[in-house]
Amino acid sequence: MCICGKTNSNTPLRRKLVVVGDGNCGKSSLLNVFTKNIFPQIYEPTVFENYVHEITVDGQEVEFGLWDTAGQEEYDRLRTLSYENTHLVLLCFSVDNRVSLDNILERWLPEISDHCPRSKLMLLALKCDLRDEEPSNDSPATEPIMYEEGVAMARQIAAVRYLECSAKHNRGVREVFEQAARVAIQDYKTNHPKGCVIS
């Protein structure tokens, strides 16, 4: 197949997208809402899952291979196997868990830098609906991470986008993947500006 500057209109641009972040920060819920339109009511830790899902933005179809990864440390060695040939990484944190934001710098960025340094990075704040809720008696009262803190972290790690969403209320979920598709298309055009590429 010959691709001249962009994919043939009949052929989707295929890109691998890996979602990483601390356990229980909302990664699997994000992917479930996007791919199945289902918000899981019960938390079940992910070991490893992947999906294929297409999205069309600006007239271009993008087929994402979506890789959901386990955030727990006991899966570190298994998770690193998912990074091969990754085009885009969604680094995720939960607005109600400051440790998950701190781990973007302390844990996730070094891992990404080691295993897929050429991948584009997007920073995502998940569970944004929790900013609007009163703390429950079961959870310690902590101040939620605010938008400005996310923007500052995105600048610090040189993320190409910073977005916030709530999978529970399906707010901003589609926008995350529309923006990811735009990043993928732009990256493809930058790396294949002229001439034909055989793939």
The 10s digit of each residue's pLDDT in 185-197 is: 999 999 887 644 4
Residue 188 dihedral angles phi and psi, to the nearest 5°: -60, -45
Compute the average pLDDT of residues 159-188.
Answer: 97
Which residues on neighbouring strands pair with residue 17, listed in sequence order?
A: 66, 88
- Give residue-wise pLDDT tens across range 76-100: 677 788 899 999 999 999 999 999 9
User: Domain 2-198 is in which class?
Assistant: alpha beta
Residue from 123, 107, 119 nearest 165 by CA:
123
- C-alpha 90: how far from chain center: 2
Rg over CA atoms, the chain:
17
Tell me the pTM.
0.86
